[in-house]
């Protein structure tokens, strides 16, 4: 209970917890999909307040974490070219690839810049017409409209020296992949609220029906998470499997129609390799042929790069809810945010990094 | 990275043919593309992700979300977006 006083409305939180305890009769495993939700759960100790029947496992919803090592190495090869200004979000530029992180390339003369928005990278290209400006575009559906908008603007304004190295990932195929994993433990999902603010909740309905799994689209504030958990537990106890929307104050069934139209015009669905998990069919975006003049994958001929993850890293199991960070012998020893071995430690939103940041260096049971 | 940041629209403008607005996040004001929320007016609250408004929200929701994001240390996307130190950065 020690965290409850920090809640916006402790009385509501207390009531939700009481109701979860009353409703939960069987053991259930629930996965929160979004890295922001994971961060909030660990920060506010929500997993430790729940009755023993309810176990939360942490999903793959940290896009920086799941960006394939090959993509980072490919970005390295492009950023090292002398006429290139290489740009991306700060978190992405700090993730170590096989040859160090992208910011470290500056020491060898490369021009690597952190930008707030992909639209800022287009502005940099306009200001530097003699240079080739490349933006490493990553993210889930939340980030995709901004990346797509940058490509629309580059094409519309004729900014020919701007291109994007795209490595987008999509949430619904990842959920399906987790449910198809041998030994899957996840029985219900808290769906990602801000992803659904863009794309809506409709595409989750087929997954809920096909796999018989409740999906509750949920916000990231503590009271949201408690309410989402309660809605999921109610469904699990009742044996229903539908999509519910806890975050209706922000999310609609159809999402943002303008953003979806832009996405459909610029990107098409493709297979994507996820760091720690491997290839998932139809789980990412690639740039449509019409925008090929701004597709860094087409512009820069970089040889296929094969990379291997450290054998000690269990991030693939963590990302699918099969293990917790504390289950890993390397956690906090040979693997820390300063020296990460794999996907879930490389960004602050990864489950291992969140556990590390909030002092969860020992398993929950041992800490209590 | 999956989270939008709430802010208040304080002015409307246009840039290269796209609707833009000044959006105030805590004490910081940034230019935000409003192409996916073209109907917002000054005084509205929006959820912004990497420079693009993705949803309209109400004031109470914006204030509550901002407070939690501050506690989570997740406001750097708008308050210190091009920081290169640990924990900053725009994703």
Euclidean distance between the first and the last CA atom of chain A, given in angstroms as a whole number? 13
DSSP string, chain B: ----EEEEEEEEEEETTEEEEEEEETTEEEEEE-TTSTT--TT-EEEEETTEEEEEE-HHHHHHHHHHHHHTT--HHHHSTT--STT-S--
| Cα B37 to Cα A174: distance, rounded to the nearest angstrom | 28
Residues from chain A contacting residue B77 (CB–CB below 8 Å)? 116
Q: How many CB pairs under 8 A join A and B?
A: 166
Among B52, B61, B91, select the one facing A149 at the smallest CB separation.
B52
Give the tens place of pLDDT for each residue, A122-164: 999 999 999 999 999 999 999 999 999 999 999 999 999 999 9
Which domains does chain B possess? Answer: 5-79 (2.30.30.140)
Question: Please, are residues A115 and A124 in contact by the beta-carbon 8 Å criterion?
Answer: yes
Question: Please, are residues B51 and A117 in contact by the beta-carbon 8 Å criterion?
Answer: yes
Residues from chain B contacting residue A337 (CB–CB below 8 Å)? 86
| Cα A88 to Cα B90: distance, rounded to the nearest angstrom | 8
Among B2, B38, B58, select the one facing A35 at the smallest CB separation.
B2
- The answer to whether the CB atoms of A117 and B51 lie below 8 A apart is yes
Question: Please, are residues B21 and B69 in contact by the beta-carbon 8 Å criterion?
Answer: no
Provide the sign of the torsion angle of the four alpha carbons A306, A311, A312, A315, taken in this order: positive
Q: Is the pLDDT of residue A368 over 70?
A: no
Residues from chain A contacting residue B64 (CB–CB below 8 Å)? 8, 221
The pLDDT assigned to A342 comes to 86
The pLDDT assigned to A3 comes to 53
| Cα A134 to Cα A200: distance, rounded to the nearest angstrom | 30
Give the tens place of pLDDT for each residue, A196-238: 999 999 999 999 999 999 999 999 999 999 999 999 999 999 9
Give the tens place of pLDDT for each residue, A91-103: 899 888 888 889 9
Q: At what angle do helices A257-266 and A144-156 cross, to 10 degrees?
A: 60
- Which segments in chain B show pLDDT lower than 70? 1, 83-91
pLDDT higher at A258 or B87: A258
Give the tens place of pLDDT for each residue, A110-130: 999 999 999 999 999 999 999
Question: Cα distance from A261 to chain B (closest Cα, Å)?
Answer: 10
Please give the average per-residue pLDDT across A244-252, as a whole number. 96
Q: How confident is the model at residue A7 (pLDDT cuts 50, 70, 90)?
A: low
Q: Is the pLDDT of residue A83 over 50?
A: yes
Question: Cα distance from B45 to chain A (closest Cα, Å)?
Answer: 12
H or E element at residue A346: helix A343-346
pLDDT higher at B81 or A1: B81
3-state secondary structure of A58: strand
Question: Which of A78, A99, A103, A108 lies closest to A91, judged by CA?
Answer: A103
Question: Which of A18, A26, A28, A23 lies closest to A56, judged by CA?
Answer: A28
Please give the average per-residue pLDDT across A262-281, as a whole number. 95
Contact status of B24 with chain A (Cβ, < 8 Å): no
pLDDT higher at A358 or A307: A358
Q: Is the pLDDT of residue A361 over 80?
A: no
Q: What percent of chain A has pLDDT over 70?
A: 96
Question: Cα distance from B2 to chain A (closest Cα, Å)?
Answer: 6
pLDDT higher at A267 or A3: A267
Question: Please, are residues A213 and A82 in contact by the beta-carbon 8 Å criterion?
Answer: no
Q: What percent of chain A has pLDDT over 90?
A: 83
Which domains does chain A possess? Answer: 1-173+185-312 (3.40.50.11740)
Give the tens place of pLDDT for each residue, A305-340: 777 778 888 998 999 999 999 999 999 999 999 888
Question: Which of A247, A255, A248 lies closest to A190, judged by CA?
Answer: A247
Among A115, A143, A258, select the one facing B1 at the smallest CB separation.
A143
Bridge-partner residues for A132, per DSSP? A84
- The answer to whether the CB atoms of B35 and A62 lie below 8 A apart is no
Chain B segment 28-87 residues within 8 A of A by beta carbon are 30, 33, 35-38, 47, 49-52, 54-55, 57-58, 61, 64-65, 67-68, 71-74, 77-78, 81-84, 86-87
């Amino acid at each position: 209970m020690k965290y409850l006083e920090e809640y916006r409305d402790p009385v509501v939180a207390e009531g939700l917890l009481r109701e979860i305890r009353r409703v939960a009769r069987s053991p259930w495993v629930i996965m929160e999909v979004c890295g922001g939700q994971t961060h909030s759960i660990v920060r506010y100790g929500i997993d430790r307040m729940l009755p023993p029947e309810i176990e939360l496992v942490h999903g793959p919803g940290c896009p920086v974490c799941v960006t394939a090592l090959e993509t980072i190495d490919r970005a390295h090869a492009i950023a090292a070219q002398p006429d290139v200004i290489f740009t991306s979000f700060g978190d992405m530029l700090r993730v170590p690839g096989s040859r160090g992180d992208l910011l470290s390339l500056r020491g060898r003369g490369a021009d690597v810049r952190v930008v707030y928005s992909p639209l800022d990278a287009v502005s940099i290209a306009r200001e530097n017409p003699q240079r080739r400006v490349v933006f490493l575009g990553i993210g889930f559906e939340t980030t995709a409209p901004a990346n797509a908008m940058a490509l629309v603007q580059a094409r519309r304004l004729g900014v020919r020296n701007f291109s994007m190295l795209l490595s987008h990932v999509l949430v619904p195929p990842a959920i399906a992949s987790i449910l198809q994993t041998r030994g899957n433990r996840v029985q219900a999902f808290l769906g990602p609220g801000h992803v659904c603010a863009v794309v809506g909740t409709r595409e989750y309905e087929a997954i809920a029906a096909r796999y018989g799994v409740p999906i509750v689209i949920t916000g990231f504030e503590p009271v949201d998470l408690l309410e989402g958990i309660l809605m999921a537990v109610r469904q699990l106890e009742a044996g229903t499997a539908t999509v519910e929307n806890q975050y209706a104050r922000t999310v609609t069934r159809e999402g943002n129609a303008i953003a979806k139209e832009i996405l459909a015009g610029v990107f098409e669905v493709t297979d994507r390799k996820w760091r720690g998990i491997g290839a998932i069919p139809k789980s990412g975006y690639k740039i449509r042929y019409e925008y090929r003049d701004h597709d860094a994958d087409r512009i820069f001929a970089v040889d296929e790069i094969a990379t291997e993850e450290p054998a000690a890293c269990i991030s693939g199991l963590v990302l699918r809810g099969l293990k917790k960070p504390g289950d890993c012998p390397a956690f906090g020893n040979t693997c820390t945010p300063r020296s990460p071995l794999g996907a879930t430690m490389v960004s602050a939103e990864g489950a291992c990094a969140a556990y590390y940041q909030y002092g969860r260096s020992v398993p929950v049971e041992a800490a209590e | 990275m999956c989270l939008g940041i709430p802010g208040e629209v304080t002015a409307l403008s246009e840039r290269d043919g796209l609707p833009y607005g000044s959006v105030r996040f805590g004490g910081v004001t940034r230019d935000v593309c409003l192409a996916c929320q073209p109907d917002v007016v000054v005084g509205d609250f929006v959820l912004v992700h990497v420079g693009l408004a993705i949803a309209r929200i109400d004031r109470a929701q914006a204030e509550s979300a901002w407070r939690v994001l501050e506690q989570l240390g997740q406001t750097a996307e708008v308050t210190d977006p091009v920081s290169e130190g640990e924990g900053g950065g725009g994703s």
